[in-house]
Amino acid sequence: MKTQCRILWLGCLVLLLIITSCTQSKAEVTSPSPTLPASKLTTKVITPTPKLGPKVTVRPTFTATAVATLSLSDGRNRLLDLLSNNGGCQLPCLWGITPGKSTNQEAENLLIPLSSISELTDLKPSPGEIQPVYSEDDLFLSTKVTYLYANNGVVSSIAYRAREERKSTASNGEEIPLGVFDSLSFGKRLDYYSLSHVLSEQGIPTSVLIATSGPPAIYLGGGGFYIALLYPDKGIWVNYITQMYIVGDNVRGRPTNAHVEMELYPPGDSASFFALLDKTDWGVKKNGYKPLEEATQMTVEQFYQTFRNPTDKWIETPAKLWPTPEPSGP
């Protein structure tokens, strides 16, 4: 009903807009979005992101706690430390937070020190979220940790994302972040979460799925090649995003230095794993993926043997497998 009302309202709005909409073009959008100079970040727990700026009100979430926010340089060092050793624990634990065991207060104590370098820190109520950024020159190593917790305070799931971006200017003058998929420094800093390390630590995945955007090629900086690993019994879902290239009749991508995203759940309950995972974007996006065996000539075992050690090898898949999809309904 609400939707129908809005659509009806839109119909009325059309007439008004026909009169007014042509008075200002998109080309007049000239104000670039603010960037994120690390030097301007504050040490407040609620750090208004330059993107969020004063335009979005984030409800203050800070309650008295003995945990201190780190200085900017210490925060940067702490982030690099966490990225290098995952806080001394193994997935599905992330940075010392274990799904099914850790409490939201423990998670908060671990994450608040990073708020000085975070674009957004909003830990209460659930989901807790923090977005620590490590900037260097024009590159931004952007991370995001989101965790859900129940009434009893126990963390039930963790979503994690790490990517490298470079500010670029769009055709309309607006400053936009573009993905960087060939950053050696990113690959080195994210080694713990790399395909080779996850495979060597977690073993053969239950399933590997591939998706691509092509052909046609999408713009550089847009990714377009995806590799998903599923470990249902261990509560681990990992998705690697890297730049897609079209070579002859194939599309290909290389996992080296790929961006990574994860969904982490308590281990030992694969039914629950799939049910929870389906509530995330994966529940929709999985429709665009194909099993590794169908997308490539490899079995999961061969994939594991090939990529369990660091390598620059590509994953190739026939372009004909990825035709322009037919439009479909919602």
Partner 1 sequence: MTGQMYKDLDRMMKNVVHELGHAYDNALGIRSNDSDAFLDRDVMRPNLCDRCYNWQQHPPSMDANGNVSYEKFGDMFIAWTYNAWNLNPDVSKDVGRAQAWMNGLVHQP
Side chain identity, residue 119: E
Q: Which value, in Å, is the radius of gyration of the alpha carbons in the chain?
A: 22
Peptide bond before residue 323 is cis, with ω within 30 degrees of 0: no
Is residue 6 close enough to count as binding partner 1 by CB under 8 A? yes
Whichever of 188 and 285 has its CB closer to partner 1, that residue is 285
CA distance 132 to 55: 20
In the bound complex, what is the minimum distance in angstroms from residue 53's beta carbon to partner 1? 7
In the bound complex, what is the minimum distance in angstroms from residue 125's beta carbon to partner 1? 9
Is residue 129 close enough to count as binding partner 1 by CB under 8 A? yes
Among 87, 96, 100, 222, binds partner 1 (CB under 8 A): 222
Whichever of 2 and 66 has its CB closer to partner 1, that residue is 2
Candidates 69-77, 279-287, 291-299, 303-311; binding stretch for partner 1 (CB under 8 A): 279-287
Residues 6+ apart with CB under 8 A from 211: 225, 226, 228, 285, 288, 289, 290
In the bound complex, what is the minimum distance in angstroms from residue 56's beta carbon to partner 1? 4
Whichever of 221 and 310 has its CB closer to partner 1, that residue is 221
Is residue 218 close enough to count as binding partner 1 by CB under 8 A? yes
Quick one: which of 231, 232, 225 has its CA closest to 198? 231
Query: In the window 59-118, what residues touch partner 1 (CB under 8 A)?
Result: none
Candidates 71-79, 185-193, 213-221, 313-321; binding stretch for partner 1 (CB under 8 A): 213-221
Is residue 51 close enough to count as binding partner 1 by CB under 8 A? yes
Among 77, 185, 207, 280, binds partner 1 (CB under 8 A): 280
- Give backbone dihedrals phi and psi of 251, rounded to 5 degrees, phi first: -110, 145
3-state helix, strand, coil in the chain (%, to 5): 35, 25, 40
Whichever of 61 and 77 has its CB closer to partner 1, that residue is 61
Query: In the window 229-258, what residues touch partner 1 (CB under 8 A)?
Result: none
Is residue 324 close enough to count as binding partner 1 by CB under 8 A? yes
The answer to whether the beta carbons of residues 109 and 155 sit under 8 Å apart is no
Query: In the window 10-39, what residues touch partner 1 (CB under 8 A)?
Result: 10, 12-14, 16-17, 20-26, 28-29, 31, 33-34
Peptide bond before residue 125 is cis, with ω within 30 degrees of 0: yes
Is residue 281 close enough to count as binding partner 1 by CB under 8 A? yes
Whichever of 199 and 296 has its CB closer to partner 1, that residue is 296
Is residue 327 close enough to count as binding partner 1 by CB under 8 A? yes
Is residue 320 close enough to count as binding partner 1 by CB under 8 A? no
Pairing, β 207-212 against β 224-231: antiparallel
Quick one: which of 256, 228, 230, 229 has its CA closest to 242? 256
Tokens found for residue 330: 């919602």
Is residue 152 close enough to count as binding partner 1 by CB under 8 A? no
The answer to whether the beta carbons of residues 233 and 206 sit under 8 Å apart is yes
CA distance 201 to 229: 13
The answer to whether the beta carbons of residues 226 and 210 sit under 8 Å apart is yes
Is residue 153 close enough to count as binding partner 1 by CB under 8 A? no
Quick one: which of 210, 212, 213 has its CA closest to 195? 210
Is residue 287 close enough to count as binding partner 1 by CB under 8 A? yes
CA distance 154 to 101: 6
Any idea what DSSP says for residue 27? G
Residues lying near partner 1 in the complex (CB under 8 A): 2-3, 5-7, 9-10, 12-14, 16-17, 20-26, 28-29, 31, 33-34, 49, 51-53, 55-56, 58, 122, 127, 129, 146, 148, 157, 159, 168, 170-172, 174, 176-178, 211-213, 218-219, 221-224, 263, 279-281, 284-285, 287-288, 324-330
